[in-house]
Amino acid sequence: MTHVQLNDTLFEVVLRLGVTVKTEDETAFLIEIQQAGVFVVQGLTNQRQSTFWVRCVQISCFPMREKPSTCLQ
């Protein structure tokens, strides 16, 4: 997960996941998924911001992390 501060209160958060399925000698298929969100963050101390980023992923990106292949159906 990465986050970029776009201005004083606006942040873009990107969760990237990759799954590789291999046979004995070669890659059978590869799935790479990125999901992003933009969040307004105001009034948090630096210490609380780290907790916020963890919750951000759990709230907005958790379903994709649990079952990434369902995003492709």
15: containing domain: 2-72
CATH number of domain containing 40: 3.10.420.10
- Sign of CA pseudo-dihedral 54, 57, 60, 64: negative
Query: Residue 21's pLDDT is what?
Result: 92
pLDDT given at position 70: 52
Across 11-36, average pLDDT: 88
25-67 pLDDT, tens digit per residue, is 899 999 998 888 888 888 877 777 777 766 766 666 555 555 5
Flag whether pLDDT at 22 surpasses 90. yes
- Amino acid 20: pLDDT: 92
Among the listed residues 9, 12, 57, 1, the one whose alpha carbon sits nearest the alpha carbon of residue 38? 12
Q: Looking at the 3D structure of the chain, how many domains does it have?
A: 1
